[in-house]
Structure 1
């Protein structure tokens, strides 16, 4: 290869690395700023009362059937004594961040195409927000691509019967 081609490749690699690094730092800053909002830190009534507790499932035929098809509820039996190891706290988290970032970069064109298709199909929002239970039984907010029309009625299914949700 010519020296000029080698220099162009080195320059392209450096610029790409700097751009990806800057993107990572900006996104990390935004995520840290948004974190309290995503875990409902400012809404105590929305927080999980089982957070930080050790729980067991108690079967009870008086309770309604849950999503697993079982009747029962969770009961807190003690405070959690789990202390994360170095691997859990740093190594695994580093792998998670690195692989997630690489996945976002590689799949960005697919995400853009999906967002355009959703917007073209229906004029509602592209993303759907959903409350999920986190690792230590706290809540966090998850963003997903919306797959249903905004005009779809909000329905409940109870024992095979379709009922309109009143609340």
Structure 2
């Protein structure tokens, strides 16, 4: 798997496309490959982030955005809240990971894109900012990482 991941990173660099990484239970290995392949040159997203603050900062230092899933809304997510609180909003995205990781108040049901607002609301609460600020900044971050211009 690591060989294939390295190949995918190389292909993304060759095609000048952002890299979307789901590194579940492979944080150290993914980070080593991203660093050695200079993957940050293309920007990218650490999808469904579940690492620690050190991992997040290393990824942000390379130009990656940290995508926050619905698990942020769970009662037992206190340690995750503390990590997210210390990360700059300018490097955060919110996501659903549909059909998985359904946010409260729909936990236990199939996740869907419209539920992303609950994750954004929780992020706003944790960061101590308005929901509108989270919506604005995370939208701009998504446009930036995918090099989209809606104007």
- TM (norm. structure 1) is 0.17
